[in-house]
Amino acid sequence: MPELPEVEVTRQRIAPLLLGRRIACVETTGDSYFFLTKPAKLRRALPGRTAVALDRHGKYLVVTLDNRARLVLHLGMTGQLFGGGVTSVRLLSAAARASLAPEAQPVFRPDSHTHLRLRFADGVPDILFRDVRKFGKVFLVAEGEVNPRLAKLGVDALRATSGDLFPLLRRRHTAIKNVLLDQSVIAGVGNIYADEALFLAGVRPLRRASRVTRAECERIVEALHQVLRRSIETGGSSISDYLAPDGNDGGYQDERRIYAREGEACRRCGGRVRRIVIGQRSAHFCARCQH
């Protein structure tokens, strides 16, 4: 699932395919809540525009256009953004994969889950946004318009300090895990990195936020920076659907210490990794290493 590192890797790899190129044509699927801006409006408004910047705010990608409008993308749970011409068996359905020669690497063709396609001049690779579950989002923000979804985002997780976080923890009586996932507190942290950071910091995910000490808060922020940076370095985590824009898996899933390791041995003490549910989401922890 795309969290800050996966979105950042996507940003870095999509930028050279996007920046400075004039959009010639836009293809979309039909109306759905995936499109917070009507797809017909996107098809009308985007051609002729050139992207001048590609930024990331938390898990949002923000494309600034030459008319100062912004095209905003969120990958949701299963969103994949990649350049045209990508070859990857991972992008095929299980059925299509099964009928393929083992070493074949067919070029991906836009399918019914490819909701947005930006096309450029002839011969320039296009950019595809695919999202099977449609939890992702696409919308346009006019120049000067304040978008509430972007406005309420907290400090980006890579820039967050314990000075940002600790005062907020004092006021919250819910589990620390819930607060780390709250994008209005710290933007960019999702389920994987929240669990990883809490494990490294030695704090149980169910601990009430208001009972986290200042020293623990500092360890949590430090651990978040460590896991997020390392994941970006290794290309992100490909645990369920995430693929880097070149169609390949990231590498961080192999470095996971706790997430989705229920029943396996804790990498620090050898104890059994436990899984519980907090706020409708799975949380993983080691009862011996986390207090």
Partner DNA sequence: ACCGCACCCTGAGCGC
Partner DNA sequence: TGCGCTCAGGGTGCGG
Using CB under 7 A, list all residues that contact DNA.
1, 3, 32-33, 58-59, 74, 76-78, 93-94, 113, 132-135, 149, 171-175, 178, 181, 183, 190-192, 209, 260, 279-282
d(CA 50, CA 23): 6
Contact 55, 62 (CB under 8 A): yes
Compute the least distance from the CB of residue 41 to DNA, in Å: 19
Select which of 56, 59, 130, 256 is catalytic: 59
Q: Residue 168: which H helix or E strand, with range?
A: helix 162-170
Q: Would you say 23 or 181 has its CB closer to DNA? A: 181
Active-site residue, from 43, 117, 208, 281: 281
Catalytic (active site) residue 59: yes
Residue 80 or 178 having the CB closest to DNA: 178
Catalytic residue among 3, 6, 8, 216: 3
Which residues is 49 bridged to in the sheet?
A: none
Least distance in angstroms from the C-beta of 182 to DNA: 8
The partner residues of 128 in beta bridges, in order of sequence, read 82, 117
Neighbours of 67 (CB within 10 A): 13
The least CB distance from residue 123 to DNA, in Å, is: 32
**Residue 3 or 216 with smaller CB distance to DNA:** 3
Please give the full DSSP string across 122-158, using - where no structure is assigned. Answer: TTS--EEEEESS---EEEEE-TTPPPHHHHT--EETT
CB of 144 to DNA, least distance (A): 20
What residues does 129 pair with on adjacent strands?
Answer: 81, 116
Q: What is the smallest separation between the CB atom of 122 and DNA, expressed in angstroms?
A: 31
207 as an active site residue: the answer is no
> 167 an active-site residue?
no
Question: Which is nearer to DNA, 23 or 169 (by Cβ)?
Answer: 169
Of 99 and 280, CB closest to DNA = 280
- The DSSP H or E segment spanning 54 is strand 51-57
230 carries an active-site annotation: no
| First-to-last C-alpha distance (Å) of the chain | 27
Helix, strand or coil for residue 105? coil
**Active site residues per annotation:** 2-3, 59, 281
